[in-house]
Structure formats: C-alpha cells, structure tokens
Amino acid sequence: MYLLLVWGTMVFTTVVLGLTLLLFSVVAPEFVPLREILLSETFFHLFFGTQVQITLQHTPVWAIAVMVVVNVLIDAILAPIWALLTTHLYIERARI
C-alpha cells in the first residue's frame, strides 16, 4: 500500500509539473524544445521512474521562480495528505 501511495504521489507531481512546463512552452519561446518531449511518448515514461534531461539555454528567472513555487505548492498540498494516509495505514497495521 505504501508503494502505491508513493507511485500515486509521483504521478500527480509529474503531471502537474509537466502541465506547468507545457504551459511555459506555449507562453515563453525558450521552452519550445520542451513541447516536443512533453507531447511525445517520452513523457509517459516519467511515470515509471525514467528521467528526461534537456538543457534550456537562457531560461528566464521568472520561469524558474514559477517552477519553484509550483513545486512548493505541490509539496504543501501533498504533505498533509501523505501524513494522514500513512498514519491511517500505520494504525490499521498496529491493530492487527
């Protein structure tokens, strides 16, 4: 059950960050190379732990700040959910 919880968290984080980067590829011309990766089958390999590496030259500071804020918001949303679910799973296991 814990592994399923970890996998679900990873999928949610990957989807939200992927959608953020896809939005960047529409808005900022610096992120156009990302559109090819995010719209291809390579993006779906991220759900199984594969890494994609791409170097973006001249990435604007505002884009990095937005990515950091999105990542912090994802963590802020998932941390209480993670704590509740793991506590619930632990209590169920301790009763047995």
- Residue 96, pLDDT score: 62
Question: What is the tens place of the pLDDT at every residue in 7-40?
Answer: 888 888 888 888 888 888 888 887 877 777 777 7
Number of separate domains in the chain: 1
Domain that residue 31 falls in: 2-95
d(CA 83, CA 89): 10
Task: Answer yes or no: is pLDDT of 68 > 70.
Answer: yes
d(CA 85, CA 5): 8
